[in-house]
Amino acid sequence: MDRSDAWNLLCEYTQTDALRRHAFSVETVMRAAARREGANEDKWGLVGLLHDFDYEMYPTEHPMAGKPILEAHRVPDDIVYAIQCHADFTGYERLTRMDKMIFAVDELTGFVIATALVRPNKSLAGLEAPSVRKKLKDKGFARTVLREDIWKGIEELGIDFDEHFNFVIDALKPVATEIGLTNEALG
């Protein structure tokens, strides 16, 4: 499956622009992570793009409902497995860096974007890890984000929290306008 096929599959099952933007955002971060890790960018990108493709149609069965659909589309087994790994409740053991990375970036990507959206400039410019950490402590902000998954994912990767926060922020900057943010710095 190439990116075009994956995008078409995503759009077939996902009608809302918000969820499509989330998929694109996570794809972007996964591609950046693959570059950093010296891994296959296209493969990691597909994991990011397709990780929530079934959520809108099957919210209570997600991501398990998507597994047979992906298999019917001949999506490689390691991509299907990594997608299952992004949800802790599936019970899939995260074995590879790709499995661990999708878990470590999914919730954090959405949270970073939510943090940027409440800033006066609605931008990632100038956003840094301490601001994200502060917002994470506010339980009323972005309530649906699974904070424990953010912390657990970073711990499983064995990397520094602030370094990972800043990595996600930097990975999203080139696509800011495509994901509903601006490129404006606070002035």
The answer to whether residue 76 sits within a structural domain is yes
- Phi, then psi, of 182 in degrees rounded to 5: -105, 170
pLDDT in the model for residue 183:
83
Tell me the pLDDT of the chain (187 aa) as tens digits: 999 999 999 999 999 999 999 999 999 999 999 999 999 999 999 999 999 999 999 999 999 999 999 999 999 999 999 999 999 999 999 999 999 999 999 999 999 999 999 999 999 999 999 999 999 999 999 999 999 999 999 999 999 999 999 999 999 999 999 999 998 765 4
For residue 100, what pLDDT is reported? 98
38 torsion bin: left (phi>0), alpha (psi -120 to 50), beta (else): left
- The pLDDT, as a whole number, for residue 187 is 47
Cβ(65)–Cβ(58) below 8 Å: yes
Whether 187 is covered by a domain: the verdict is no
| Domain membership of residue 66 as a residue range | 3-179
Counted domains in the chain: 1
For helices 77-85 and 41-50, what crossing angle results, to 10°?
50
Handedness of CA 107, 112, 118, 123 (dihedral sign): negative
CATH number for 147: 1.10.3210
Tell me how many degrees the CA angle 146-17-149 measures, rounded to the nearest 5: 10
Q: What is the pLDDT of residue 184?
A: 77
pTM of the entire predicted model: 0.96
In this structure, is the dihedral angle defined by the CA atoms of residues 136, 142, 146 and 150, taken in order, positive or negative? negative
Helices (H), 14-146: 17-37, 41-50, 66-72, 77-85, 97-117, 129-137
From the list 114, 104, 102, the residue with the least C-alpha distance to 144 is: 114
**Residue 175 is assigned to a structural domain of this protein:** yes
DSSP 8-class letter at 123: B
End-to-end CA distance of the chain: 44
What is the distance between the alpha carbons of residues 11 and 3, in angstroms, rounded to a whole number?
12
Q: Determine the Cα–Cα distance for residues 104 and 154; give it in Å rounded to an integer.
A: 5
